[in-house]
Structure 1
């Protein structure tokens, strides 16, 4: 019976879509595709990235993680095309001059090489698993402790952020709010980026008559250091329009989200999900 289940699982993995492969230069249409196909060096890098992508898909241990990897690669390609698809109009943030062809080519090459590095990065433990898969497995273990529900999942935004004011260097990052649901409690940890800095936030909501009602928020590392609420500064009177949204049908895994929901997730999050009275008044304002 076990062998039959394994066979069915592997068949499901094999039949999932695996789009987002390497560029077919015979059918190149977009400016970014023409740029890649016009450079042997960039095209070689794109081919290497595609090999890395295929390899990590084959390493996926289950259909859920396989689907996550497919979605993440499509998302990266979409962000790449949006960011680098019209570089002829991009300017240096310091000089105001249009970026040279050399700088344009370097931006694209660096993005592809960085992506290949992400796809091929292995864990440092004995398993030598791809890091993206290891993170996804950690996410699965964490959320398996709770019931889940329609408001659970990752609300993620990914783009190429400038490393400096010139715009001559970009780094791909994914910032997300992770909503975790346990029965009628939804606790959320968010990370966002602005002005070359990462900001964190937290929120607590109770599902009442099928809709989450926001009951507490914290901002910028004020959510507390442990499950006792030490060092916390929770707002127990948040406005309904405080910015926290609870969309449904979110992806349940996202190994590229910056928090990665690893084994060292903030302890306040688990306490929030298990204690209906969290946050306590002594750790709030």
Structure 2
């Protein structure tokens, strides 16, 4: 995999950020799309959709600030869009259906899984996990200056083959003064791939000075015991950074594992260390 953002991914992400349809429960009297009609064709699915709406509204009421509330609204719109894409595929291409499941059964499972995600709380926590992660992100970022290049570039989808799992992956840019440290995470062929980039702001734009990469089976980027394998001459130094401001938080992204590395990268102008 090459660093940078593929054109198809850019188009997909652009669509996510421009979604404006409200993410409320389906009104079956006004159902028009194939997905809406599928929901309304089964009372168990209608009931599941109503429970999802209640869970979503309950989470919104617990948002401790406008930024987190806006993040929750955007994340639910994103999920509705991903659900629609997946069901359009299954309705339009019956051969894509897993042998043991109908499109309606998969839809109910997606809705119930999403409801469980919104209701999830961490051990000993009073707030939903999606809010807790956003608060943790805000707390971590408050240690640094931030900047125009900081933020989350997130892509979410219902994963194919079984179409039961909804997952989000993100490029995370952390900035402190003229240093930008990036974690670029993606999923392909059942494996998570991660690239890290260290960049300095030159003439107002990040310029990559070092990179490394790893997958679930290759810890080449590990900073333990001096084993990190940094490339000081990246093959593609003109890594693509967003030209528009990015969201500063995303509670659907599990990024606490970034924090130790990002802190070291942002605080030390000489990072990564010479090898």
TM norm structure 1: 0.83
Note the 1:157-196 alignment, pairs <5 A. Answer: 157-162=155-160, 167-196=161-190
Match of 1:8 in 2: none
Q: Is 1:235 aligned with 2:238?
A: no
Structure 1: distance between partners of 2:250 and 2:129: 12
Q: Deviations over 1:221-245 (max 9, x none)?
A: 322335xx72201101013456x32
Q: Structure 1 pair 113/18, CA: closer, same or farther in 2 (3 Å)? A: same
Gaps of 5+ in 2: 1-19
Deviation at 1:18, TM superposition (A): 9.9
Match of 1:109 in 2: 108
Note the 1:1-285 alignment, pairs <5 A. Answer: 19-92=22-95, 103-125=102-124, 127-162=125-160, 167-220=161-214, 221-226=219-224, 230-240=226-236, 244-247=239-242, 248-257=244-253, 260-262=254-256, 264-282=257-275
Aligned residues: 251
Structure 2: distance between partners of 1:18 and 1:270: 38
Gaps of 5+ in 1: 1-16
Deviation at 1:190, TM superposition (A): 1.8
Structure 2: distance between partners of 1:191 and 1:102: 30
Contact residue 189 and residue 203 of structure 1 kept, 8 A: yes
Structure 2: distance between partners of 1:230 and 1:268: 13
Q: Structure 1 pair 132/230, CA: closer, same or farther in 2 (3 Å)? A: same
Q: Deviations over 1:124-183 (max 9, x none)?
A: 11x321000110110001111110001000011000113xxxx23421000111000100
Q: Between Structure 1 and Structure 2, whose CA radius of gyration is higher?
A: 1
Please give the secondary structure, in 1, of the residue aligned with 2:193. Answer: strand
RMSD of the TM alignment (CA)?
2.1
TM norm structure 2: 0.85
Match of 1:7 in 2: none
